[in-house]
Amino acid sequence: GMFSVNPSPPWITGLITSIPVAVILAYLGLAFDEWPDAEANLKKGVKSLAYKVWQYGISLEWYIMSWFLFVFVYQVFLIAVGILPPMTALTFLTFPGLIACLVMLKANFRKVGGYLVIVAALYPILLLVGLIVG
């Protein structure tokens, strides 16, 4: 948004803030999205990190939480260096919901996965609220 409405946007700040988080969330989301089809796609010869998570028996819950934790740590770094305002820490309110969903994910992947997506969708909403509130 800031790149389209600001005549002189802080490009470096925008890129430092958005690109790492976008890449991290893409890897997280890819494994989550491909998980149900991983076995069939591996037999077809499809190769990606998401399928390797399934192939090597890595816990999907652990994998997802690792990426989320990296996003939170990176956000703390951005707050500490003054790029993000402290109120963006409102996103940490999603953490208990993420943990609850990941604990229950194996019980009912489709249903709990839907809840996980909803909880994860709160992250950018709370980030925006934190930016607005300052």
Is a pLDDT exceeding 90 seen at residue 76?
yes
Measured N-to-C along each axis, helices 60-80 and 109-133 cross at an angle, to the nearest 10 degrees, of 0
Buried/exposed 24-56: b ≥16 CB within 10 Å, e otherwise: bbebbeebbebbeebeebbeeeeeeebbebbee
Confidence band of 55 (pLDDT split at 50, 70, 90): confident
Confidence band of 111 (pLDDT split at 50, 70, 90): very high
Per residue in 8-39, pLDDT (tens digit) is 767 777 777 777 778 777 777 777 788 888 78
Contacts of 96 (CB under 8 A, 6+ apart): none
**Given 3-state DSSP classes, what are the helix, strand and coil percentages for the chain, each rounded to the nearest 5?**
80, 0, 20
Average pLDDT of every residue of the chain: 85
CB 32 within 8 A of CB 40: no
Residue-range definition of the domain harbouring residue 113: 2-133
How many structural domains are present in the chain?
A: 1
Residue tagged 């005549």 (tokens): 7
pTM of the model: 0.77
Contacts of 6 (CB under 8 A, 6+ apart): none
Contacts of 65 (CB under 8 A, 6+ apart): 98, 99, 102
